[in-house]
Amino acid sequence: MNISLLSGILALLIGLIYTVMTFLLPEASIGRPMEPKIFPMALGMLMIILSSILLVQETKKSRKSEQPAGKFTIDSNLKNIGLTCLFSILYAILFDKLGYVISTILFLEGELFLFNGAKKWKINSIVAVVFSLFIYILFSKLLGVYLPMTPGIWI
Residue selected from 139, 149, 150, 155 as contacting another protein according to rule CB under 8 A: 139
- 3-state SS assignment for residue 41: helix
Which residues within the stretch 47-106 sit at the binding site for another protein (CB under 8 A)?
47, 50-51, 53-54, 57, 70, 72, 75-77, 80-81, 84-85, 88-89, 91-92, 95-96, 100, 104
Which residues on neighbouring strands pair with residue 71, listed in sequence order? 2
Best CA proximity match to 106, nearest among 120, 119, 88, 83? 88
* Closer of 63 and 119 to another protein (Cβ): 119
- Is 96 in contact with 148 (CB distance < 8 Å)? yes
Residue 62 vs residues 12, 16, 40, 49: alpha-carbon distances, Å? 18, 24, 32, 20
Contact between 135 and another protein per CB under 8 A: yes
Closest contact distance (angstroms) between CB of 23 and another protein is 12
Instruction: Please name the amino acid found at residue 79.
Output: K
CB atoms within 10 A of CB 133: 15
Task: Give the interface with another protein as residue ranges (CB under 8 A).
Answer: 3-4, 6-7, 11, 14-15, 18, 21, 25-32, 35-36, 38-40, 43-44, 46-47, 50-51, 53-54, 57, 70, 72, 75-77, 80-81, 84-85, 88-89, 91-92, 95-96, 100, 104, 107-108, 111-112, 114-116, 123, 127, 131-132, 135, 139, 143-147
